[in-house]
Amino acid sequence: MLPSALEKAMYGVYATTAVHLAGKHGVFGFLTAEEAPTGKIASELGLDEETLDRLLILLDSFGVIERNEHGAYRISAEMAPFLDPESSRSVGGFLSHVMNSTLGRLPQLDSYLTAGKSAVDAALPAPFDVMYRTPKLTEEFLEAMWQLTYDVSRELVPMAGLAEVRHLVDIGGASGPFCVAALEATPGLSATVFELPEVGPYVADTVERYGLQGRLDFAAGDFHQDEFPSTECVAFGYVLSGWTDEIGLELLRKAHRACADGGRVLIMDRLFDDDRRGPLPTAVMNLSMHVEAKGRHRTAAEYVGLLESAGFVDCEVHRTSQDKQLVIGLKR
């Protein structure tokens, strides 16, 4: 018998595949509405019963779903917010990105170990050239960012000190999940998503969907090449972890130049514990950043150090009940 931790590590790749496929083919959506045995699920969704049965057995064995004494499968109340495709906390979009983009790049780690990341990456396209290579990949990446961002942003916004802020700019803000959460909670606030040009239509869709005409707009730009729009608050959500300390510091210096006196910068990202041994999601995504981008995850103290080097003061750290935390720096 293998130790439990090793067993789950070895077989986790099968579980990830099963969770992704169950979401993709509507199984979780079906089970959100009702309990059912394999045969009924397969019949209703037009799926091969034998293959589905094997997937469901695995998901039950991993504790992702449950099977009762009559052979019917169900989703527990604990799991429902994450497996229900209509939930703001659904993991479906993130898993689609992992399976369709990240997974194909993990074999690069072998070459990184022997030749080093810089040497291997020199022959590869830039990170966002991969993520935005096709409309399908762009949509999957933006959907993943929405699912990773919108729900937790409703915790982050009250911590961010936006009551007196009239305008914020979200750098690399995807289709606008943080901006939407901030605008919903803060009357009188307006926001700008600063992103690559190909993201513009998705922000326009967000404006239409949430009725944010006149409050949410889009500024096309490359945050490596261009200065940021002037504002009272600059937000970085899951951005700085994608880049080296040197690039991160330059981005924070741009934020300092763009920010009005008395303004603030928000770093919203996963944080390592001080000993860098966890938490697990941060350790996982730290490895993911190695193949998907050029950065790493940091401790709160490391982010405070970068903020202070860029000229920000009175830094604060705020923690949510989820994986995304907040580090604030002020411009005096």
Confidence of residue 51 (pLDDT cuts 50, 70, 90): very high
What is the DSSP secondary-structure string of 42-59? HHHHT--HHHHHHHHHHH
What residue segments make up the domains of the chain, in order of their start? 4-83, 144-330
Q: What is the pLDDT of residue 259?
A: 98
CATH says 144-330 is which class?
Answer: alpha beta
Q: Which of 258, 241, 243, 192 is nearest to 220 (CA)?
A: 192
Question: Which range, of 141-150, 162-171, 238-247, 296-305, averages the lowest pLDDT?
Answer: 141-150
Q: What is the pLDDT of residue 136?
A: 87
Confidence of residue 62 (pLDDT cuts 50, 70, 90): very high
Q: What is the pLDDT of residue 142?
A: 94
Q: Which residues pair with 168 in a beta bridge?
A: 191, 233
- Give 106-153 pLDDT, tens digit per residue: 999 999 999 999 999 998 888 777 777 888 889 989 998 999 999 999
Residue 327, pLDDT > 90, answer yes
pTM for the whole structure: 0.92
- Give 147-176 pLDDT, tens digit per residue: 999 999 999 999 999 999 999 999 999 999
The distance from CA 127 to its chain's CA centroid, rounded to whole angstroms, is 15
Q: What is the pLDDT of residue 95?
A: 94
Q: What is the pLDDT of residue 42?
A: 99
Q: What is the pLDDT of residue 94?
A: 92
First to last CA, the chain: 60
What's 242's DSSP letter?
G
Token pair of 314 as six digits: 């009175």
Residue 86, pLDDT > 80, answer yes
Residue 18 CA to residue 70 CA, distance in Å, equals 22
Question: With the CA atoms of 219, 223, 224 and 226 taken in that order, what torsion angle do they form, in degrees rounded to the nearest 10?
Answer: 40
**CATH domain 4-83 topology:** Arc Repressor Mutant, subunit A (1.10.10)
SS3 110: helix
Residue 155 CA to residue 276 CA, distance in Å, equals 24
Q: Which residues pair with 218 in a beta bridge?
A: 193
Residue 52 CA to residue 27 CA, distance in Å, equals 9
Token pair of 292 as six digits: 């998907």
Q: Which residues contact 274 (CB under 8 A, 6 or more apart)?
A: 299, 300, 301
Asked if residues 317 and 327 have their Cβ atoms less than 8 Å apart, the reply is: yes
Average pLDDT, the chain: 96
Q: What is the pLDDT of residue 124?
A: 85
Token pair of 32 as six digits: 């959100």
Asked if residues 292 and 277 have their Cβ atoms less than 8 Å apart, the reply is: no
